[in-house]
Each structure stands twice: as C-alpha cells, then as structure tokens.
Amino acid sequence: VLSFIIFICYIASVATSFMMAPLLEFLLALFLFFAYASKLNEKFKGLYWPLMDFLRCVTAAIIYFAISIAAVSKYNDGASKAAGVFGFIATIVYAIDFYITFNDLVTFLKQGSSDSPEGRKSE
C-alpha cells in the first residue's frame, strides 16, 4: 500500500522520473503476496522464496532511501516532498521487514544445510 501511495505522489509531482521504482516494487510485492497466498512457494521447491523476499526488501530499502533524498532535496513541489517523506517511511518499513526476513532466511538455510549432509551420507 505504501508503495502505491508513493507511486501516486510521484505521478502528481514534478519528479515523475522516479515513479518507476515504486511501481515495480508494488508489483513485485503484489506478486510475492499472491504467491504466498496461493501456496506457490510449496509447489515450486526449487526457488528459494525467503531469499527472494530478502533481496526484495534490501533493494527496496536502498532504492527508496536514494530516491527519497533526491526527491526532497531537488524538487520543491508538495507532491515530491510528500513522496520523499513516504519514501523515508517505506525505507524504515522495508528495513524492519529486512530484519524479520533475515531471521527467517537464516532458519531456512539452517534447515537446508542440516538436511543435505544426511542425504549425502546415505548415497
């Protein structure tokens, strides 16, 4: 939701060149939400779903921080300032999600590494 609000703010502002990052992040978050909701992560075991979510959080936090600094410092209209403020809020939200996802990723990788040596020993 926050990505969609930032996207709308960038459309209404002078800084329309920044609108692609929130749109792509919104669509990627929507895809991962529906993938988890429809249990695609259980059907496609070859993909590391926690790693994909982890990388999405890290890149989103970095990109939102960078474009928020540019929007607040370079443009003077209200919509650009609002998009920048919402971008800083999104940076904090994605950083928290990064921390939570990192803990899930560590648990996921520990489970995978404990299963692998047992499978190799039996072969």
User: Over the chain (123 residues), what is each successive 10-residue block's mean pLDDT?
Assistant: 87 85 89 87 78 87 92 89 92 91 81 54 44
Q: Is residue 75 part of a domain?
A: yes
Q: What integer best gives the mean pLDDT of the chain?
A: 83
CB atoms within 10 A of CB 60: 24
Number of domains in the chain: 1
Q: Please give the pLDDT value at position 113.
A: 61
Gap between the Cα atoms of 89 and 74, Å rounded: 19
Domain with 28, as residue range(s), is 1-33+49-112
Q: Is residue 39 part of a domain?
A: no
Q: Is residue 118 part of a domain?
A: no
Q: Is residue 100 part of a domain?
A: yes
Report pTM. 0.76
Q: Is residue 8 part of a domain?
A: yes
Q: Is residue 42 part of a domain?
A: no
Q: Is residue 22 part of a domain?
A: yes
Q: Please give the pLDDT value at position 36.
A: 84
Q: Please give the pLDDT value at position 118.
A: 45
Q: Please give the pLDDT value at position 120.
A: 43
Q: Is residue 60 part of a domain?
A: yes
